[in-house]
Structure 1
């Protein structure tokens, strides 16, 4: 196992770490969850991509290549609620990220990230409990390509929507603040730049290659899991206005003004696809690595990662913490452009057990 903790990144984030030092001290030795069992919850999927939880405890799941959103009950019963219009599949594009409005119980609104004929875009829809409708594009013109489309969506603790975009196979766009490629975007539910964005645009951070996983810890820190090129995949803390280095840096970075990752992996052990948080711990799904990484946190400092299910389930993508925190839902990605096994994907429920001190 080749894992490299980017110590330079910790130095570069010294101010933030000092501020978090009391919390880190309190968390050191804290019992944390670990996977103890898994079961097949639902079979017959083709690239389940994102999971979002409904108020009744069931979830909505996007299926990338069919462009469907499917409701899944806690016991695995599936109901397709509708097909998102204007979606075009190809490469790693299609119907990707999904996020429910923080006020979903009242406004019945959800958001998707998808590839269209000429671009990637973020759109708003409604779900009345039975059917999907009301498609409205909010952000268009996000560069698209066969690969490196990004596509993650998540609402932050501040009530704003965050989106990860890939470099669209044009690495120079990640450093271009006039481009929406290679960025993490922050927007209002109406699709406008969120108040306090560092450049007065949708851009929140830049210099990303393909940030697929986004997750907040209980202290409100935003973590991202990012695909590298040939040498390093990354785990980062995302901060407003920061430059994460791509394509100048891949992995550890000493360039002035560019952030270091806090952890790196060799791509054969990772290629991150999803990230979720519960009980002081990040869980990262991986495609090429075909394993689930468990990453304990001490404040803003990640501990030693541990791998689960290596080579047992194939490629892994969709991941989310079940409300209440006692389990994860984890989806395989063996029907994608690499695995090429239509209908072979499985949605698993992974039971977590507390009591492990890291």
Structure 2
């Protein structure tokens, strides 16, 4: 084993919550209290001041199964789904009704290793006219974002065009590669990155590691960004893999902690979210505190989505779906857990419109315990 891989293995077995624990090794979460909300967050509130304190989840159906290391999910306008395979480097189209899988092709340049590979997917905000699919992946030298033309009129296997690199230079590592991308209500492209195991990058606003980035669809710094000529939107993050907006166009992000606290944050441009100086809440006013936090055994959060006035957060090591009811940018009630240990590790959650969500499991990622049918995409109804 090389020195680099040996060091990575040590990090993974030393209690890192980045992607749900180090190869199944136990971690000291620093707390046995599941769903601990940040001090100062409100308890249950009246229904007219926010969503109900208690919600519900109903699994409507299994949309598809037999997927290998699924990671990113992008719903197509007509109801089908595109899903990425982190390790196989492929994008597959899933028929939204029958679950039939059609492999569109392998994305060139992807170099899977550890937590890296082909990860987040997003459709262009002008997809109806430009048919562009965006992907975040780990290459041999960095993490980058590309876009590809998806031409459904071409023969199967030839429909995915060559990747055009939109943005490059995001630090890569065996761990903490971030990977989530999403277009916001402003039609700008947002990306959650990790600090690649180099904690010093998070506090360096000139580094792209440990950040939320905001850019134009062409990869240029977006107008109004807090740092001149920079795509950096917020910093002091450890490993961001969840991005979602509420009905008021406010951005929220989920972040992996190390040994103590995982976080759900309300994102304010230019703010410092503390890592590595703070994990979870801090008494230091220069760090933006999370609106909710969890012991790392209970969450290890990846994807998030907004529906019915709440953020819904997929837990990897926690093997559950968390509901965080919102009142503005605060938690309106204690987080509530669903599907605990029912489907194993949960990677991605995406709005399916109204009160429905798509939920992707992650049991074939090397840290789960795959059962027959894994991995799968579920359609769920929430309230």
TM-score by length of 1: 0.90
Aligned to 1:174, the other structure's residue is in SS state: helix
In the aligned structure 2, how far is the partner of 1:337 from the partner of 1:113? Answer: 20
Aligned to 1:7, the other structure's residue is in SS state: coil
Whether contact under 8 Å (1:25, 1:298) holds in the other structure is: no
Pairs within 5 Å for 1:170-209: 170-200=198-228, 201-209=230-238
Pairs within 5 Å for 1:1-358: 1-7=33-39, 26-28=48-50, 34-75=56-97, 76-129=99-152, 130=154, 131-200=159-228, 201-302=230-331, 303-322=333-352, 324-339=353-368, 341=370, 344-352=374-382, 354=383
Change (3 A) 1:235 1:195: same
In the aligned structure 2, how far is the partner of 1:26 from the partner of 1:197? Answer: 34
Q: Which moved more, 1:274-283 or 1:28-37?
A: 28-37
Aligned to 1:199, the other structure's residue is in SS state: coil
Whether contact under 8 Å (2:183, 2:190) holds in the other structure is: yes
For 1:15-68, what per-residue CA distance to the aligned partner results, in whole angstroms no more than 9, with x for missing partners? Answer: xxxxxxxxx985435699631234222111112111111111111111111111
In the aligned structure 2, how far is the partner of 1:142 from the partner of 1:26? Answer: 43
Unaligned runs of 5+ in 1: 12-23
RMSD: 2.0
Equivalent residue number for residue 19 of structure 1? none
In the aligned structure 2, how far is the partner of 1:64 from the partner of 1:313? Answer: 19
For 1:93-148, what per-residue CA distance to the aligned partner results, in whole angstroms no more than 9, with x for missing partners? Answer: 00001110111000111211000001111111110125110311111111100010
For residue 282 of structure 1, report the CA deviation from its aligned partner. 1.1
Aligned to 2:195, the other structure's residue is in SS state: coil
For 1:143-194, what per-residue CA distance to the aligned partner results, in whole angstroms no more than 9, with x for missing partners? Answer: 1000100000000111100000001000010001111000000000111100
Q: Which runs of 4+ in 1 moved over 6 A?
A: none
Whether contact under 8 Å (1:113, 1:121) holds in the other structure is: yes
Question: What is the number of equivalent residue pairs in this alignment?
Answer: 339
Whether contact under 8 Å (2:189, 2:215) holds in the other structure is: yes
